[in-house]
Structure 1
Amino acid sequence: MRDLRIFLLLILIPFQETLPQPSRLPLVAEPVFHYGSIVPHHDFMHEFIEGPLVAGELKLGVQTTGKHAWERLYGYPRYGMGMYYGNIGNPEVLGNPFALYSFFDVPLIRGRHLSFHTQMSLGMAAGFHPYHPAYNPLNLAIGSRVNVFFYYNFYVGITLSDRLRWVHGANFTHFSNGVLTLPNTGFYLLDYYTSLQYTLYSEPPSFKKDPLPPFHPSHEFYLMPVAGLKKTQIEGRSWFASTLTLGYYYQIGPINKVGMGVDFFYDTSLQESFSETEPDFSDILRAGIFAGHELLIDRIGLVVNQGVYWYRKTRFYQQFYSRLAIRYHFPSGLIPSVAIKSHWGKADYIEWGLGYSF
């Protein structure tokens, strides 16, 4: 539970640095309605899906005006906070998730009467009824009351007036605990949603169109030690896992970096594969190389890595691994990071790290 609270703080704090003064905020209020369904990616899910997904949200966002260069690079995006509450198909077995999250909304095409957007949200959700062998045996999808909340959507905005816009979109939502406990197949939801976006201002905002500063490519080396906990069996113990990453990134544009690096993994859960002998230190080590991309939103970095193991004594793991991370780049070079490491979409463990770039 403590790890999940830390995760929420890492999600929400970075936005504070770029918030304008409260008296000048062009705020956008948005009530949202969702209708859809759980995607049954395992056969057992048909046992508990009894109805549709019906959910609501309330968002409050800041409409950027181009004060900072990154706002102009993203076409004057909107960001803020929101609350989500829903019935995802069977409240008795699954509960009713309630989430708090931050979101980032990027216009793809902005027209006078129509606009096309994409939006990403990340936060924490409570209100689940977790698996229990006696009291809730049907919920083999999630074993925790509090889980990570993520969604990604595309929508069309129809301008009704200077202040009001009607939204229609398609939304993908995911709930997971990152193998902090089991089971953790998680939930994948698909839905249609509609909303009304109402802009609150005393006078229409003025969008700055200043020229962007010149871009200079740069090189970055970084060292990132991380640690986490994982489970391999529902009734089993938690195992310690850690990673040491040595990486290099080359910034190819104002918001894009590409790079590569080496990972060294120490995973005590690998001891389970040695039932008759005591494993050596080298038996629970693995090493991999990866290629990666980082998308920059001011000082926030969204990272995708794809790697391959080049050293591993135990063979029951997949040959390839992936990493999705959110990082914050302090001017001092410190980089706090939260990542999910996985094998072909199946979570391995959450990596909590504090790195340094030079």
Structure 2
Amino acid sequence: ISAIYSASLRFEHQTDGSKGWHQMYNYPSYGMGIYFAKFSVPNQLGNPISLYGFLSSTLYRHGRFVLKTDFSLGLAFNWEHFSSSNTLNVAMGGPLSCYIDAAIVAYYNMCNHFDLGMGLALSHFSNGALKKPNKGINVLSPKLVFKYKPYDNIRLKITEKPRSESYFENLTTFFFGAHDVQTVINPTKENESYENHSYLVFGLDDKFLRRFNLKHSLGLGIGIGYNQYVGTEYRIENDRMVFSEIPVMQRFHLSAYISYEYRIHRLAILLEPGIYIYKNESDKSENFFQRIGFRHYLSDSFFYGVSLRAAYFSVAQYIEWTIGYRINGIGR
């Protein structure tokens, strides 16, 4: 890829301080948008379109000048993905992918209704190994922003910040997902060269966190997981795959990890580096894994989320869809 051309249209809501968490996070803005991209090799990659949500936070404000971070997450489609007729695209194996964008942008308020911004963005496209091949795409690019506000500049309110307490909490999480494995059948027959199979993953995690304040929590967790692919072997007979598998109970693994959570009101960003304490010798996955994801609290007790389990800080293993229960206030 030698070049990418992209444009985005978004609708943004600016917080004004009317709620306690607005001021605590320096008056963030959030909303939804649509993103269009054109690569220098559209015949191989296509022209992806993404629908996404975003959160923008202020780092520095002085007069008409504002420096912000911007994070977007969504789904992208309209790919020319890998197929028997497009074997050159090893970056995207399926028609749908995740879209992640992180940027830092400097804005200048030109007048009541117009802002002009310039910055730098890092974009990532991947399907989380739901469909192989999945090398993914990373793009570093400059960013030019033109913002129109149909209202006058918002006067930010200063209210009493929410009370912050330190205590322990226990989170129990069930996750499930799937990942894809692609196998070469016969590279001499183009239309029959590849065969894909999806494998189930699920598990149960339990973690104890110390919540230091309304933003930060840190603790330890343990988990038990199942990977249907572990111990699966195959051989080729007459251009067909013949499988052999190990017993179900031998496909489980045990893990331990450090858990960090950053809360923004009811939304949480989680980072969890960990190791496998036990896994079957036929499980060839890396012993050290990383998990990054999001969690949304429906109430003080119930939550749901999504996270990506990876190895080497770059290779996606699978996406985990999660639901869970939280017991807070332990040790108050």
Length-normalised TM-score, structure 2:
0.88
The match for 2:134 is 184
SS of corresponding position for 2:36:
strand
Q: Give me the whole-angstrom Cα distance separating, in 1, the residues matched to 2:97 and 2:234.
A: 32
Equivalent in 81, 93, 98 of residue 44 of structure 2: 93
1:357 maps to a residue whose letter is R
Contact 2:107 2:115 survives alignment (8 Å): yes
| Closer/same/farther in 2, CA of residues 142 and 317 from structure 1, 3 Å limit | same
Residue 261 (str. 1) matches residue 225 (str. 2): no
Structure-2 change in CA distance of 1:243 and 1:105 (3 Å): same
How far did residue 224 of structure 1 move? 0.7
Deviations 1:247-280 (A, max 9, x none): 1121112211112100111101002259897523
Residues 104, 121 of structure 2: 8 Å contact kept: yes
The reply on whether 1:77 has 2:28 as its aligned counterpart is: yes
1:279 maps to: 246
2:271 matched to 1:304? yes
Instruction: Give the Å deviation of 1:182.
Output: 0.6
* TM-superposed deviation, 1:218: 2.5
Secondary structure of the residue that 1:169 maps to in structure 2?
strand
List aligned pairs for 1:318-333, cutoff 5 A.
318-331=286-299, 333=301
| Structure 1 residue 283: Cα displacement | 2.2
- The normalised TM-score by structure 1 is 0.82
Distance 1:333 1:305 in 2: 21
**1:93, CA displacement in angstroms?**
0.9
Match of 1:105 in 2: 56
| Structure 2: distance between partners of 1:139 and 1:74 | 41
The match for 2:306 is: 338
| Superposition deviation, residue 75 in structure 1 | 0.7
Question: Paired residue for 1:199?
Answer: 149
Give the deviation of 1:214 after TM superposition: 2.3
Question: How many Å separate the matches in 1 of 2:15 and 2:268?
Answer: 19
Runs of 4+ in structure 1 off by over 3 angstroms are 273-278
Match status 1:121 vs 2:121 = no
C-alpha separation in 2, matches of 1:273 and 1:218:
48
Structure with the higher strand share, 1 or 2? 2
Partner amino acid for 1:325?
G
Aligned residue in 2 for 1:288: 255
Partners of 2:227 and 2:251 within 8 A in 1: yes
In the alignment, the residues of structure 1 paired with residue 311 and residue 149 of structure 2 have an alpha-carbon distance, to the nearest angstrom, of 43
Determine the C-alpha separation between the residues in 2 that align with 1:322 and 1:143. Answer: 22
Residues paired across the two proteins, number: 307
Q: CA deviation at 1:336?
A: 0.9
* CA-CA distance at 1:163 after TM superposition: 2.3
Structure 2 partner of 1:25: none
Alignment deviations for residues 207-240 of structure 1 (CA, whole Å, 9 cap, x no partner): 1111212211122111111111111225231111
Q: Which letter does structure 2 place at the counterpart of 1:348? A: Q
Question: Aligned with 2:23: secondary structure?
Answer: helix
1:166 alignment partner, one of 110, 113, 116: 116
Offset of residue 297 of structure 1? 1.2
The 1-side partners of 2:178 and 2:104 are apart by 34
Q: Tell me the alpha carbon deviations over residues 37-77 of structure 1, each in whole angstroms, 9 at most, x when there is no partner.
A: xxxxxxxxxxxx3x411110111100100111211111111
Q: Report the secondary structure of 1:72's partner residue.
A: helix
Q: For structure 1, which runs of at least 5 residues remain unmatched after alignment?
A: 1-48
CA distance in 2, matches of 1:126, 1:57: 15
Cα distance 1:278–1:155, how it changes in 2: closer, same or farther (>3 A)? closer
Aligned to 1:353: 322
Query: For each residue in 1:125-160, what CA deviation from the matched residue of structure 2 results, as whole angstroms up to 9, or x when unmatched?
Result: 111000112x11110111111111110001111221
Find the counterpart in structure 2 of residue 157 from structure 1: 107
SS at match of 2:321: strand
Q: Percent identity?
A: 25
Aligned to 2:200: 240
